[in-house]
Amino acid sequence: MSEIYISREKAIDAIEREYGDDVMGAIKAKEAIYSVELADCRPVVHGHWVDASDTSGREYFRCSECGTYIEKIFFAHDYPVNCCPCCTAIMDK
């Protein structure tokens, strides 16, 4: 089974909305949520490659998220990989 990650804070908000006046039920549900070990994951960042070059005529791509420059000669195609090797932003914007 593949893992699906949710925001703990949003889950707590949903419990509070659902249980309303049932304070004991809400407390038990919140305790269950807080007892689960946190996953080691990070937010997904989306960006795009920006065409860039310097005055010497070298051509680069620049990550729109972290600003890392990658020289175009390292790639066989017009656009480099689908994610930034530095910040791991997914290049789909």
Predicted TM-score of the model (pTM): 0.54
Residues 58 and 81 grouped into a single domain: yes
b/e sequence 6-30, b meaning 16+ C-beta within 10 Å: eeeeebeeebeeebeeeeeebeebb
What integer pLDDT is reported at residue 83 of this predicted model?
87
Q: Write down the pLDDT at residue 63.
A: 93
Residues 6+ apart with CB under 8 A from 74: 80
Q: Same domain for 34 and 50?
A: no
Q: Is 71 helix (H, G, I), strand (E, B) or coil?
A: strand
**What is the pLDDT at residue 82?**
85
Cite the DSSP H helix spans in the chain. 8-19, 23-35
Q: Which residues does the chain have with pLDDT short of 70?
A: 1-2, 75-80
What was the pLDDT predicted at 29? Answer: 92
Flag whether 63 is in a domain.
yes
The total of structural domains in the chain comes to: 2
Provide the residue range defining the domain that includes 16: 7-41
The answer to whether position 14 is within a domain reads yes
